[in-house]
Structure 1
Amino acid sequence: MDSTRSLSTRSALARATLCALAMGMVACSDTRAAEAPSADQARSADEPWFGVMLPPGFEPHALHVISNRPAAPAVVPEGESQYRELAGDAIQAHLETIVGFSRESEETAEVGEGQIWGRVTGFPSGAKTIEWAVSEFRAAGIADVELQQFDQNEGASIWLPLSWEVRLLGDPAFGEGSANVVLESAMPLSAGDLSGGSLTAPLVYVGTATSTELARIDVRGKVAIQKAIPQGHTVFMRSPVGPRAQDLLDRGAVAVLTIIDLPGNMRARDIGCGGGTCFNIGGRDGRFIESVMDAAAAAGTTADIRVEMRLESERFSGLSAANGVAILPGTSRSDEYVVLNAHADAWFDGAGDNGDGLAVLVALARHFSTPGMRQERSIVFVASAGHHSSGLSGPGNFVAMNPEIAEGAVLVVNLEHTAQRNIAPARSLHEDGYREWTMDSHEAPIVAGITNLAPYLEGLVERGIERYGTNFVSGPNTMASGEGGTYRRLGVPVFTTMQGPPMYHTTGEVLEMVSTPGMERMARFMAFFVKEVSGVLVAQLNPTSGEQR
C-alpha cells in the first residue's frame, strides 16, 4: 500500500472518478493523467523525472488566461453621457493607482522576503491606500473628510508567512539526472507553522480526500496531496476542502498540499485547513506532481517521492489602521445617511478584491460632489481598512467611531468585488498538457444581497439589470458577506454586491482581469441606485421598521 506505484495508481483512479463527477466534459479533458498512461508517459528511466516537462515557475503579476477579445461595452442611458467621472477610463485610472500600492508592497518586501504582498491593513501599503482615498475625497471637493485611526483589538494578531519553500527531492529512481524541483506556486495557509521550521516526508496522493478514497490509504507520517477544482465562486471550496485537510492531519498526515486546479501556476491564499501545516499548490505545479507519480507507476518504480518544506512565519499584534470617511450633507434630510462602503485591503495585486470596488467608490464620490448632484439624504463614503487583518475591522471601527451616523443610517451599500472578467476552460492546452483558460466578454456573476429583501430595493436591482446590463445573478437573497456582515448590527438594510470568481485571493487577480466597462456598469448602476433611494420613505427601504419618514 505504501509504495509509490500503488499510491500513484490510486491517484490516477481518483482523478478519473473526479472527472466523471465534475461539471461538464471539459473537466475530464484538462488532465491527461486521468487517462491510461500513454507511450509518452511511460518514459525511459534515462530521462529526468521520466521525461515529464518541468513546471513553468512562478510569475507574480502574470495574466494566466487568454484575452483576445475586449469586454462588452458599457451601456450609457440617454442623459448620462455627461457623467465623465463614471466613465470606464476614469475609473481604470483609479484602479491602476490602487494596484500600484500592492506592487510597491512586493517591490519593497514589506512582508518577509516579499513572497506575499498586497494592501495589508496594519502595514504601510494599507495606510497609503487609505490616505490616497482620503486625498481623492478632498480633491472631489468634499469638505467633511476624515482619516479615522484606530488600534488593533487587544489580544488579536495576524499570522503572516515570511519565507517558505516546497521542493520535490530528486532521485535517480525517477530518471537519471532528476534534480530537486521547487514548487514556486506553493502558498502557506493561515497558522500553518512548521515545528522546527522544516520537514521532509514522502508524498501520498489522496484525490479529493473523501472517506471512500481514504479507506485504503495510510497517510501517517506523510505529506498528503488533495485536489480542489473550484466551480463558480471560489469560496464554495472552503467548506469541503478545509475540513478534509484537517481530517488528513487528524489521520496522521504531517502536512497537506492542496492542488488548486486553476489557470496557470498561481499562488492562492484561500481555503484554510485548521491547525496544521498546509500549502496550496498552483495548477501546473500540481500537474507536474501528478504526472510524475503516474509515470513512476507506469515505470514500475517503487521508490517514494519525497518533499522537503521550509516555513518561517510571525504573528503581528499592536498594529494600527485607519478608515477614510467623507460626508456629503443632504439637502433636506441631512440627519439621515446612506452609507457607501468599499474595503481597501487586498492580498497580492488585488485588482478584483477589492481594487475595483474602491475605484468605483472614489468615482461615486466625485459624481455626487459635482454641482447639482446633492441628494436629499446625506451620503457617507467609507474607504474601509477592511477585514483581512484580525482585530483591525474597518466596518466595526467605523460604526463604533461614528455613533451619529450609525443612529441615522437608513441604508448601507457595500461594494465588494464588482467587475472581474468571467473565465472558462479553453479548447487549447499548454505545452505540458495543462488546459488553458480564456476570458469571455462579460463580468463574472455578481451576487446582489439585500438583507431585508425589501421589494422596493429588489425592484431597483431588476431595473439596474435592464438599464445598465449589470451581471447580477441569483434570486432575492440576504447575503451580506465580507464587509456587509458587520453592518448588520445597525438594523438597517445592507445591500452587498459581490463576486467570488476563480481568481479571487490569488496572484492572478491582476489589472487585466478586471473589466473596465464592467466598473463603469457598476458605477452607473450605483449612482442610479443611490439617487432612487435618496428621497423615498424609510418604510420603502425597510418595510418592517414601522417608520413613515
Structure 2
Amino acid sequence: MKSVFKSPLSLTVLASCLLSVGAIAAPANDPATLAQIRDSAMKSDWAYERLADLTDLVGPRLSGSAGAAAAVEQVAAAMRKLGAKVTLQPVKVPHWVRGAETAELVDYNGRPAGITQKIVLTALGGSGATPAAGLTAPVLVVRSLDELKAKAAQVKGSIVLVDVPFDQELADRGHAGAAYGPGAGFRYVGPKMAAELGAAAALVRSVGGANFRIPHTGVTGLVDGARIPAAAITTEDVLLLDRLLARGPVKMHLTLTPQNLPDADSFNVIADWPGSDKADEVVIVSGHLDSWDLGTGAHDDGTGVAGAMGVIETLKKLNLHPRRTIRVIAWMNEENGTRGGKAYFDANKDKLDKHFAAIESDSGGGRPFGFIGSVTPPMVKYFAPLKDALAPIGAGQFERHDIAGAADTSPMERAGVPVFEPMVDSSAYFNYHHTPADTLDKVSPLELKRHVAVMTSLSWFLANMEQPIGRTAHQDSED
C-alpha cells in the first residue's frame, strides 16, 4: 500500500478503483462515487428487462384486476432477489371493469337512408352503464363548464360532449403538464356536473396529442347516485360532430356496459435498501404499479416503477449502502383513486420527521434533463455536486419548485416532506398516455438508462446529505 500512495493517482481516482472491487465503504457524496453510480446505470439493461417483464408478461394492471395482483408479486419477487427487505402494505382499491363500448351517429341533417357513422370512444374510469341495448339521445356540445351551466335546460336527457382541445404546441415547447391539466380537469369535473344537470351520458374530447383516432381514457369524478355513462371520444370524431352539428341536430346511439364492483384487496410494494448510521431516516424513490387497461402502461408508469427498482439494482452491483435507508415504493391505484399514496401517508403520518425526502417518477420515459425538487431556496446550492455528476449524460439541470405536485407523494409533500421528480421531455408523452398505444416499443432503452442514472444518483445523494434539507416551503394540514 505504501507504494500506491507515492503513485501519481489522485485520491479520487484511487477511491474509484477501490470502489470498483468493493474494497472500501462508499465515501458518501464524493465525485468518484457519484460517477460510478451514473456510469453503472448507463451500462445496465436490468431496468428495461424488468419493464419488459411488467408490460409483456403481466400487461394491463388496473387496480383490482388480476394483472395488478400479478404485478405486485412480480415486483416483490424481483426486489427480494436483490436482497432488499420487502413489505407488502395492504390497500383497499376501486375495482372498475370495462365492458362493451360502442357508439354511432343515427340521425343528422343530410344522412343518406340506411347510413350510420361509427364513433370511436372508450369508457372513462368510474363510468356508469347504459341499458344493455344502449341509449339514443341528441348530442349537445359545450366548450367550458360555464357554458355547460348556461345550457342546463338543454342538458337534461342529452349526451353532453365537453370539447376542450389539447394544446400540443404548448407540450412541444416543454409544458406538457400545462397542456394536459385543463383537459384532465374537464374530464374529471365535466361528467359529474353533466350528471347533476340530468344528462343521459357525458363525453369528453380525448386529452392527448397525436390524433390518430385513438381515445385516451382516464378517471372521472362520478359518484354513486349520479353515475351516468361517460366516455372519451377521439379528436377526429369530435371534429366530425362539430361539422355535422353545424348542419343541424345530431343523435347518437351509445352503448357502455362497465361495472363498478366492490373495493378489492391489493398492496403497495415497499422495498428497503438499509442505511448505515441514519438507517431510521428514509428517502423514498417510487413509481405507480397500476395502469389503465387499454395498453400495457409502459410509459405510465412502468418506466417509473422500473426506474425506481433500478436504484437498488445499481447500488447492489456497486456494493453501496447509503447512510439513510432508500425505500423503493411501487404504489397501487394512482390512476383512479391514489389509495396507495393515501394508505402510506396514513400509516406514516406520525413518522414524517424521519422521511428525509421522496422521489416520484410519473411523467413517462422521455429524455431526462435533470430533476425537479420542492426544496427551499437556500438549499439549492447544496445540489451542485449532483448536477456536476449528471452533466456528462445531459441530465444536470435542477429546477426548484415550491410544490412538485406528484400524485402519490403529495400528501407527504403537503405535510412538509421535500418531493423530487425527474425532469423529462414529455412532449410526446400524451400521444400514448392512457391509450392502447402505451406499450414497451414506445420506450427508449437509452432514455430508461438515463432515467435510472438520475433516479439512483438523486436517491444516493439525498440519502447521504450532511445538510438538514428542511421542510417544504408550503405546508398545510391536509392529508
Q: Which runs of 5+ in 2 are unaligned?
A: 1-32, 168-175, 474-479
Aligned match for 2:216, one of 233, 251, 268: 268
Which letter maps to 2:322?
Q
Match of 1:394 in 2: 340
Inter-partner Cα distance in structure 2 for 1:460 and 1:88 = 23
Deviation at 1:354, TM superposition (A): 0.7
Which letter maps to 1:312?
T
Structure 1 residues 238-266: Cα deviation after superposition (integer angstroms, max 9, x where no partner): 33555455555566543232232732122
Residues 110-149 of structure 1 mapped to structure 2, 5 A cutoff = 118-142=60-84, 144-146=85-87, 148-149=88-89
Q: Secondary structure at the match of 1:335?
A: strand
Inter-partner Cα distance in structure 2 for 1:446 and 1:201 = 50
Give the total of aligned pairs.
418
Match of 1:226 in 2: 162
Structure 1 residues 191-241: Cα deviation after superposition (integer angstroms, max 9, x where no partner): 434478732112234455753996799455332333221232223323355
Deviation at 1:345, TM superposition (A): 0.8
Aligned match for 1:283, one of 235, 239, 245: 235
Residues 341-490 of structure 1 mapped to structure 2, 5 A cutoff = 341-348=286-293, 349-390=296-337, 393-399=339-345, 408-420=354-366, 442=367, 448-450=372-374, 452=376, 454-456=379-381, 459=384, 463=388, 466-470=391-395, 476-488=401-413
Match of 1:258 in 2: 204
Q: Which runs of 5+ in 1 are unaligned?
A: 1-76, 104-117, 421-441, 545-549
Inter-partner Cα distance in structure 2 for 1:400 and 1:93 = 33
- Cα distance change on mapping 1:251 and 1:395 into 2, 3 Å: closer
Match of 1:56 in 2: none
Aligned match for 1:174, one of 111, 128, 131: 111
Deviation at 1:159, TM superposition (A): 4.1
Structure 1 residues 146-181: Cα deviation after superposition (integer angstroms, max 9, x where no partner): 3x24252xxx74444433322222689412552x33
Q: Secondary structure at the match of 2:356?
A: strand
- Cα distance change on mapping 1:197 and 1:90 into 2, 3 Å: same
Q: Secondary structure at the match of 1:481?
A: coil
Which letter maps to 1:98?
L
Q: Secondary structure at the match of 2:260?
A: strand
Q: Secondary structure at the match of 1:317?
A: strand
Work out whether residues 342 and 411 of structure 2, in 8 Å CA contact, stay in contact via their aligned partners in 1.
yes
Which letter maps to 1:145?
V
Work out whether residues 162 and 203 of structure 2, in 8 Å CA contact, stay in contact via their aligned partners in 1.
yes
Aligned match for 1:185, one of 101, 106, 121: 121
Inter-partner Cα distance in structure 2 for 1:448 and 1:101 = 32
Deviation at 1:79, TM superposition (A): 4.9
Match of 1:519 in 2: 448
Work out whether residues 258 and 280 of structure 1, in 8 Å CA contact, stay in contact via their aligned partners in 2.
yes
Work out whether residues 409 and 419 of structure 2, in 8 Å CA contact, stay in contact via their aligned partners in 1.
yes
Which letter maps to 1:310?
T
Worse overlay, 310-319 or 402-411:
402-411
Work out whether residues 418 and 522 of structure 1, in 8 Å CA contact, stay in contact via their aligned partners in 2.
no
Q: Secondary structure at the match of 2:438?
A: coil
> TM-score if structure 1 supplies the norm length?
0.65
- Cα distance change on mapping 1:475 and 1:94 into 2, 3 Å: same
Match of 1:313 in 2: 258
Aligned match for 1:94, one of 47, 50, 73: 50
Which letter maps to 1:277?
P
Match of 1:150 in 2: 90
Work out whether residues 189 and 277 of structure 1, in 8 Å CA contact, stay in contact via their aligned partners in 2.
no
Structure 1 residues 352-408: Cα deviation after superposition (integer angstroms, max 9, x where no partner): 111101111121110112243222222222222243354x72233345557897563
Deviation at 1:273, TM superposition (A): 6.2
Q: Secondary structure at the match of 1:279?
A: strand
Structure 1 residues 514-535: Cα deviation after superposition (integer angstroms, max 9, x where no partner): 3332222221122222232233
Aligned match for 2:135, one of 184, 192, 199: 199
Inter-partner Cα distance in structure 1 for 2:164 and 2:58 = 27
Structure 1 residues 387-439: Cα deviation after superposition (integer angstroms, max 9, x where no partner): 3354x72233345557897563322222223424xxxxxxxxxxxxxxxxxxx
Work out whether residues 204 and 223 of structure 1, in 8 Å CA contact, stay in contact via their aligned partners in 2.
yes
Which letter maps to 1:140?
L
Deviation at 1:329, TM superposition (A): 2.0
Inter-partner Cα distance in structure 2 for 1:458 and 1:529 = 9
Deviation at 1:283, TM superposition (A): 2.2
Work out whether residues 286 and 361 of structure 2, in 8 Å CA contact, stay in contact via their aligned partners in 1.
yes
Match of 1:338 in 2: 283
Work out whether residues 91 and 519 of structure 1, in 8 Å CA contact, stay in contact via their aligned partners in 2.
yes
Q: Secondary structure at the match of 2:403?
A: coil
> TM-score if structure 2 supplies the norm length?
0.73
Inter-partner Cα distance in structure 1 for 2:155 and 2:350 = 57
Deviation at 1:85, TM superposition (A): 4.8
- Cα distance change on mapping 1:213 and 1:249 into 2, 3 Å: closer
Inter-partner Cα distance in structure 1 for 2:392 and 2:345 = 33
RMSD: 3.9
Work out whether residues 451 and 480 of structure 1, in 8 Å CA contact, stay in contact via their aligned partners in 2.
no
Which letter maps to 1:476?
H
Match of 1:437 in 2: none
Worse overlay, 206-215 or 342-351:
206-215
Percent of paired sites with the same residue: 16
Deviation at 1:97, TM superposition (A): 1.5
Q: Secondary structure at the match of 2:275?
A: coil
- Cα distance change on mapping 1:406 and 1:134 into 2, 3 Å: farther
Inter-partner Cα distance in structure 1 for 2:218 and 2:389 = 32
Which letter maps to 1:338?
V
